Amino acid sequence: MRGKVIFITLNYYWRIFATGICFILFSIGSIITAVFIFPILRLLPLTINKRKYLAQHFIYYALNVFTCSMEILGVLKITIKGIEKLPAQKSALIIANHPTLIDAILLMTLWKKSNCIVKQALWQNLFLRHIFKTTQYISNDTDPQQLLQQCHLALQNGDALLIFPEGTRTSPGKKLKFQRGAANIALKSKHNIIPVVILSQYQTLTKEQKWYQIPYSDKVRITLIIYDTIDIHAFIPEDKEKYAIASRKLTQYLEIYFQQELLSHQPI
C-alpha cells in the first residue's frame, strides 16, 4: 500500500512538471510559427486563400503533434466519440461547450481547415496575432454585422467554424448560459449545426484554476462526443423582421440540448 502511495505521489509531481513543459512547448511553438514559419509562408507567391489554407493545415498538424505529446508525457488522455459523423470535405459549423483551457486546441485537431472566433485579448499577444492574421481567424472585437459576414464567408469557403456559445470557459457547477451569436450565425448563413459535447472527468484547467492544479491520482481525461447534425431550417423565419425571436428560440434550444447531454453523462 505504501509503495502505491509513493508511486501516485511521484506520478502527481511528474504530471505537474510535464504540464509545465507542455505550456512551455506551446509557447515556443507559437513563437517559432509567428517569427519564422508564417513570415516565410507570406513571402511565397500564393493567393490569400491558398496561404490561409496552408497556414490552417500547418496549425492542424502542429496541434496534433502537441496533443500527442501531452498524451505521451502522461498529462492527458483524449477520447473522441462519433468522429464518423464529421463531414470530410465540406464546411461545418461546430458548436461546443467550453469546460477547459484546451478545448479549442482539441477541436482544431479534427479538421485541417479550421477557423474560429478569437477573443480580442488573445489578439493583443505579440506572437499569436501574427498567427491569427495568416490563418484569417475571426476577431470578436468587430461590428456584429461584420462578424456575421466574416463567419458566413468562412463557411462559404469550406472552413470548419468552431464556436463556443458561452463566450468563455464554463464555471464548474453553473448552468450553461449561451450568447445569441452562434444562433445568429447559423440562421443568417442557413448552416446546420454539429454539436460537440466536451466532458472533463476532473475539474481542471477551468477559468478559476491555475495550470498546475491538476488531479492528484490520475491524468486529465477529456472526452469529445460528436452528435448528429442539428437541422436549423425549422428555426429560420419567413419574415426577416422575426430573426431576433428565431435567434432567441434557437439559443434556448441549444442551451437545453447541451445541458441535457451534460447531465446525462454525470455520475449518479
Residue written as cell 441535457?
260
| pLDDT for the residue 91 | 86
Between strands 193-200 and 220-226, the pairing is antiparallel
pLDDT over threshold 50, residue 268: no
How many Cα atoms within 13 Å fall on the side-chain side of residue 51? Answer: 18
Q: Return the closest-CA partner of residue 100 out of 180, 172, 28.
A: 172
- Helices 144-156 and 181-189: crossing angle, nearest 10°? 50
Structure-block grid coordinates of residue 211: 495550470
Domains observed in the chain: 2-264 (3.40.1130)
Distance of CA 246 to the CA centre of its chain: 25
Backbone angles phi, psi at 110, to 5 degrees: -95, -20
pLDDT digits (tens, 9 = 90+) for 86-133: 876 678 999 999 999 999 999 999 999 999 999 888 888 888 888 998
Angle at 29 between CA 26 and CA 34, to 5 degrees: 125
What are the pLDDT digits (tens) for 158-196?
999 999 999 888 877 788 999 999 999 999 999 999 999
* Grid cell locating 34: 509567428
Give the confidence band of 240 by pLDDT, cuts at 50, 70, 90. confident
Q: What is the pTM of this model?
A: 0.93
Which tens digits make up the pLDDT trace of 40-73? 998 889 888 899 999 999 999 999 999 999 999 9
Percentage with pLDDT > 70 across the chain: 98
Cβ neighbours for 150, distance < 8 A, ≥ 6 positions apart: 138, 142
pLDDT of residue 267: 59
**CA atoms in the 13 A half-sphere facing the CB of 189:** 26
